[in-house]
Amino acid sequence: MMRSHGVGRNTIRRALKVLEADGVVESVPGIGWRPVRGGDRRSLAERMTDVIAEDSLSVGDAYPSEAKLCERFGASRTAVRRVLAQMEGNGLLTTVHGKGRTVRALPTSTTRP
């Protein structure tokens, strides 16, 4: 991949991690990387945002912990933390020291083609 794309090893690793976080590929011990078959093709960010509606959370309700999100989506803690930071930046979540994350605003509904 390095030769065919003219990039370094770390660039390939970062790209694979992004694709893994988006649910496109998965790492399989002893095999390597492979495309995810079937299942949910939405990005991790979309799936984590949808948790608010799926779990019927309201403004002020506790959002699931990093550990629970990692388990629920089969994602790394780094990927989950990155999306949580995006959600906080977008004003959906807020962090209360010692209490965890809570829902700050409900996501706006978007229609998908």
Which pLDDT belongs to residue 105?
A: 92
Query: What is the per-residue pLDDT for 76?
Result: 82
Residue 74: CB partners within 8 Å, gap ≥ 6?
A: 26
Reported as a single tens digit per residue, the pLDDT across 67-81 is 999 889 888 888 899
- Domains of the chain by range and CATH? 1-41 (no CATH), 42-113 (1.10.10.10)
pLDDT at 58: 92
pTM above 0.75, yes or no: no
pLDDT of residue 85: 94
* Helix ranges restricted to H, 22-105: 44-54, 66-73, 77-89
- What parts of the chain have a pLDDT lower than 50? 111-113
- For residues 20 and 26, give the distance between their C-alpha atoms in angstroms, rounded to a whole number: 6
Q: Tell me how far apart the alpha carbons of residues 36 and 83 are, in angstroms, rounded to a whole number.
A: 20
